[in-house]
Structure 1
């Protein structure tokens, strides 16, 4: 008995006569979208636009995790359901007490402490955020804790990374 050869029962199931009873004998229904599939696509696009957005990284403050020019996907809905966690990479509006920054400017940093942690006394409703490139990051060690209400969303993934882009090289490649 050869175990590599299909059994007679299997051969009977895959013959043409056994497929005739299947409701979709033609695969043409995959080529033209139906109204149902267009409605599903519309719902997905609407949900995506309300809950996610694509941003670019303008500085090397999160190097080596994120590089200058990276495009990242952020989602905005999870912090309505759960609290920010340590090691989350978040996108947030600039703290209003900082001169030189408009309120609509967006930062991206990593949460290193939450309310009650002792990095610095973090008050309730605030988090302590730092960039991964600590020497070149303007973050909580400069301006203190960040109010949770300033958080716009959470980093999900990088969707585009330009090739040959290194934050420590100038445009001439030196």
Structure 2
């Protein structure tokens, strides 16, 4: 049973059970055992009951904050560079797309939908045991085209007299960066995705890998029509991101929340000859702390 949960869901399950158990002990002690002790003063409260009572409000507060308000998330890879870097710790707004139960992610109260350009955390459709972070590119009903490393979007036709046509997403070349893949410096572009202005990276040495793309039945390679209740997500590091181009569409029920700010950013020493443990941070990037742009 536990194998169906990813690490974050397993933590939520354990936290929920711990809160429930300590809450039951808290209630029993307050309304059943405590009145009995007043009738029998010689009886004292057990040590484990004291511990459960003191733990319950702490666990309850953590459960509410983590499940419905904000959840921490660590950037594990470079797929969202240059926007997010490995070592960034971000706050994920849990109520942006609806209040959901902390274990099965069923929507309890709808509060909004992902917008084009949002950076979202979601359960990987191809591997439910892990969470991913990508940018929303295509909304339900949109046609997304990615050819010659160029992004085109045809917005959904929602009853308009004249339906939208596919248009290239505007971008402007910024220059070579210090980001590298296999020793090759990456190109940086400024992209205008709907109302969101952000930066992307492209690898000039890597040809487009059309043969690896997910081919939607009835659509040509490199073109996708986003189904109802699904989204098309891509990484900002376009040639180094395993995203919807490769595994398909992200179901709405997989949403975890919206990435909104960086609360701390660490650097790690990956030099194999260093005596410093690679899993311990060796520096803090204070300039990165703040809202995600």
With the shorter chain as reference, the TM-score category is: 0.5 to 0.7
Count of residue correspondences: 123
3-state SS of the aligned residue for 2:261? strand
Equivalents in 2 of 1:89, 1:66: separation in Å?
10
* Counterpart position of 2:130: 105
**TM-score of the superposition, structure 1-length normalised?**
0.64
* Counterpart position of 2:65: 48
* Counterpart position of 1:66: 84
- Note the aligned Cα RMSD (angstroms): 2.3
Equivalents in 1 of 2:117, 2:141: separation in Å?
16
**Deviation beyond 4 Å, 4+ runs, structure 1:** 42-47
Q: State the shift of 1:171 in Å.
A: 2.3
- Unaligned residue ranges in structure 1 (runs of 5+): 1-41
Equivalents in 1 of 2:120, 2:80: separation in Å?
11
Q: State the shift of 1:162 in Å.
A: 1.5
Equivalents in 1 of 2:122, 2:60: separation in Å?
27
**TM-score of the superposition, structure 2-length normalised?**
0.39
Q: For 1:172, which of 271, 279, 285 is the aligned residue?
A: 271
Q: State the shift of 1:111 in Å.
A: 0.1
3-state SS of the aligned residue for 1:135? helix
Higher relative CO (CA 8 A, sep ≥ 6), structure 1 or 2?
1
More strand by share: 2
Equivalents in 1 of 2:66, 2:124: separation in Å?
23
Which structure would you say has the larger Rg?
Answer: 1
Equivalents in 2 of 1:145, 1:58: separation in Å?
21
Equivalents in 1 of 2:229, 2:63: separation in Å?
30
* Counterpart position of 1:128: 232
Q: State the shift of 1:128 in Å.
A: 0.2
